[in-house]
Structure 1
Amino acid sequence: MSERKQKPPVPIAVSLLSGGIAGGVEAGATYPFEFAKTRAQLRNEPGVKSPRNPFAVVNAVYRNEGLRALYKGCGALVFGSIAKDAVRFLSFDTIKNAFRDPETGALTPARNMLAGMSAGGLASIFAVTPTERIKTALIDDARGARRYRSTMHAVRLVVREDGLKGLYRGFAGTTLKQASATSFRMGSYNILKDYQEVRDIPQNTAMNFVNGSVAGVITTLCTQPFDTIKTRSQAAQVTTTAEAVKSILRDGGAAGFWRGTIMRLGRTVFSGGILFTTAEAVSKVLTPMVQKVEKVAL
């Protein structure tokens, strides 16, 4: 086992750009799974059993509503994911660097998780809650009322009818979900990466993808109840977080909080791999460029 070398901090511009690009790629590539999961978590339609197989949901929507319907709300999620992951990677790297041991550069697992939790809270405030609210409302609206003609039309209608606070419906559930999810996702990924680097395990594309997928599974299993509450509270029908919790218990009991777990796993296994593989690849390209610019500036 080789002695661990202290790594230089990731430049701010690299964290921001690699996170944003990775978030957009990940959201667009895995959106049908997100669509299926959200549909399953919304209120049950009378006499219709809630589906569990994401492929069955995708297939049914494609047959009955067309390919375009599978991407209802995708624009809102992609835009939100670019902003969310830019904020998330930037704040995580910044907080992580502040938490490192000044002499060795080491970061304990607990501090890795705390840095992720802080980053998730910031992302929820500045990006996630409004975009998740619009995405969820669009998917819910497409099941029946079909009042929203586009993402921007949905934004205008929500603000007109419910004020700016309408964009922050489900803020408590979303923030709990984001803080916990980012803590587990970013924290577990970096714990795995640190463990492997100490043991000289190469960090190539395949290993980045595997680590990201493992982090995605851990995140889903540990945070699913928060995700279900968030989805219910952000439906097209105005609902508070407390009302969302009551409706989940009424529809499915305690097990209802875990509705959509299999569907979310189908997405997070791929999304975790795609997110971190893309972020690492972009970071490798951008870091030398940014460092060169910084040297010239000095």
Structure 2
Amino acid sequence: MTSSSYPTPPLVSLISGGIAGGVEGFLTYPFEFAKTRIQLRSSSPRSPLPRNPYSIVLTIYRTEGLRALYKGCGALVFGSVGKDAVRFLSFDTVKNAFRDKETGTLTPARNMLAGMTAGVVASVCAVTPTERIKTALIDDARSAKRYKSTVHCIRLIVQEDGFKGLYRGLAGTTLKQASATSFRMGSYNIIKDFEEKRGVEQSTGVNFLNGAVAGTVTTLLSQPFDTVKTRSQAAEVTTTVQAIQSVLKEDGVRGFWRGTVMRLSRTVFSGGILFTTAEAVSKVITPLLAR
């Protein structure tokens, strides 16, 4: 990503977004694993759901080992590379089209709309299949243990449910991605525009802090979509409507925010890591591609 007053070359967006997505996905995966486990569980008086993300990560590590915390990680990292490559490319492409021709700037509303568009494109092109596989692997690991590997998981899903099985939860995932990308990319760029207009230097620390703030905003506002998406992509076949009904039946409206603390623990760091890495990669490759 370059200064928000100038268009970002498409190849720069693609490469910086892909690398940043892979790095962010791998480093924060244990929290994603714990969050998904909690969203798939049913709460009961005898077995209340833990709220401390660090506690559940430590518990899984002690009882199931480090490998368990990275179950499904390959699918997520692979998907994150594709997702964020597409997301950054789509966002910057739409953002460049929406810019004011004279000043090169965007209004906050156009920033958010560009993010929403990027989220829809990313969901269809990369996110839904990889999230489906990741969620199925995590769900399977706590019960049936049918899947021997990521490839085996994909093979069984396609055998049992056809190619459309990889797109189960498309509606929920697209809603989540549209809202999350709108909030994350939009709020990050709104903050960055605000700072640049006031002469704030965009250092690594500032990039990380801006990304963390964007991650916090994204989590709090898009959590219901994430919960429905997770439920609809479990190992057992569940439609988006059934997922919504099951959440309401078990926990009421507040159930849609289950896993918020765990997801927040991840997205605060992930937002900082994602944008800091993307900005750093962009600064390195932009001069190289300009030669």
Paired with 2:199 and 2:240, the residues of 1 have a C-alpha distance of: 46
Contact 2:4/2:189 (<8 A) preserved: no
1:72 equivalent in alignment to 2:71: yes
Paired with 2:100 and 2:15, the residues of 1 have a C-alpha distance of: 26
Structure 1 stretches lacking a partner, 5+ long: 293-298
Paired with 1:164 and 1:43, the residues of 2 have a C-alpha distance of: 27
Contact 1:228/1:257 (<8 A) preserved: yes
Q: Deviations over 1:81-132 (max 9, x none)?
A: 0000000000000000000011111100000000000000000000000000
Q: TM-score, structure 2 length as denominator?
A: 0.97
Deviation at 1:188, TM superposition (A): 0.2
Contact 1:141/1:147 (<8 A) preserved: yes
Corresponding residue of 2:102: 103
1:131 equivalent in alignment to 2:130: yes
Corresponding residue of 1:20: 18
Greater Cα shift, 208-217 or 40-49: 40-49
1:41 equivalent in alignment to 2:44: no
Deviation at 1:150, TM superposition (A): 0.7
Paired with 1:230 and 1:249, the residues of 2 have a C-alpha distance of: 14
Paired with 2:236 and 2:49, the residues of 1 have a C-alpha distance of: 19
Contact 1:43/1:232 (<8 A) preserved: no
Q: What amino acid is aligned across from residue 186 of structure 2 in structure 1?
A: G
Deviation at 1:65, TM superposition (A): 0.9
Paired with 1:204 and 1:38, the residues of 2 have a C-alpha distance of: 33
Q: State the secondary structure of the residue aligned to 1:79.
A: helix
Deviation at 1:6, TM superposition (A): 8.1
Corresponding residue of 1:296: none
Identity of aligned residues (%): 72
Q: State the secondary structure of the residue aligned to 1:52.
A: coil
Moved over 2 A (4+): 5-8, 45-48
Contact 1:40/1:52 (<8 A) preserved: no
Paired with 1:50 and 1:167, the residues of 2 have a C-alpha distance of: 29
Corresponding residue of 1:146: 145
Deviation at 1:138, TM superposition (A): 0.4
Q: Deviations over 1:180-235 (max 9, x none)?
A: 00000000000000000000000000000000000000000010000000000000
1:81-120 → structure 2 map (5 Å cutoff): 81-120=80-119
Alignment length, in residue pairs?
288
Deviation at 1:70, TM superposition (A): 0.4
Deviation at 1:63, TM superposition (A): 1.3
Paired with 1:254 and 1:6, the residues of 2 have a C-alpha distance of: 39
Contact 1:225/1:258 (<8 A) preserved: yes
Contact 2:5/2:105 (<8 A) preserved: no
Paired with 1:34 and 1:221, the residues of 2 have a C-alpha distance of: 15
Corresponding residue of 2:268: 269
